[in-house]
Structure 1
Amino acid sequence: MDRQREHVLGVLEGLSEEDLRRPVLPSGWSCLALLRHLTLDVERFRFPGLIAGEQDAAGQPAADAEAHWCVPEGTTIDEVFADYRAAIARADAVLAAAAPEQ
């Protein structure tokens, strides 16, 4: 997983702000929206949400597919990247704690 995460970051960190925010599909999907999706639906939902049973503020596993493909207005690129890195760190901690002892 680390290699795939590094690959995603390596590709996206080389893009300009314009390229990160530019919609590349008719749905409005952008590279920055992809990173938000990976943050919320993969790193946060699948690992802390499903493995550790953590919930969002509403008491539900954190998953809202529609909202997770949108970057909220006013959110900076640095915030999206930092959020992704923080979600990776939390997911890694959850996985390490869930690993069976050998």
Structure 2
Amino acid sequence: MRNVEERHLSSFPGQDRHLARLWTQEPNDWGLGFEIRGTKNPHWTGKDHPATTFGHFGQSGTFLWVDPEHRLACVTLTDKAFGPWAAERWSDYNNGVLQEFSR
């Protein structure tokens, strides 16, 4: 990989897929290892995040997102297995982080 920017460019554009059996995204673009937010709605990063946001989450209930436009990143570590609770809470939590730190 030549540079960091290539990591969040779509490597598999236009593919539909289910995300953790909780969200179906059409399309659901992915970069090399990262999901690209794009125009997906609803989305776990939150409705206020720009399309350039990218990240990843795992079965252990943890996640990482990077918002290049606001120069922010967030890592959240939990000890609660991923499940419907995440779909209910992550979006609002991530919007709160964005609003608090992008001023």
TM-score, normalised on structure 1? Answer: 0.33
TM-score, normalised on structure 2? Answer: 0.33
Larger radius of gyration: 1
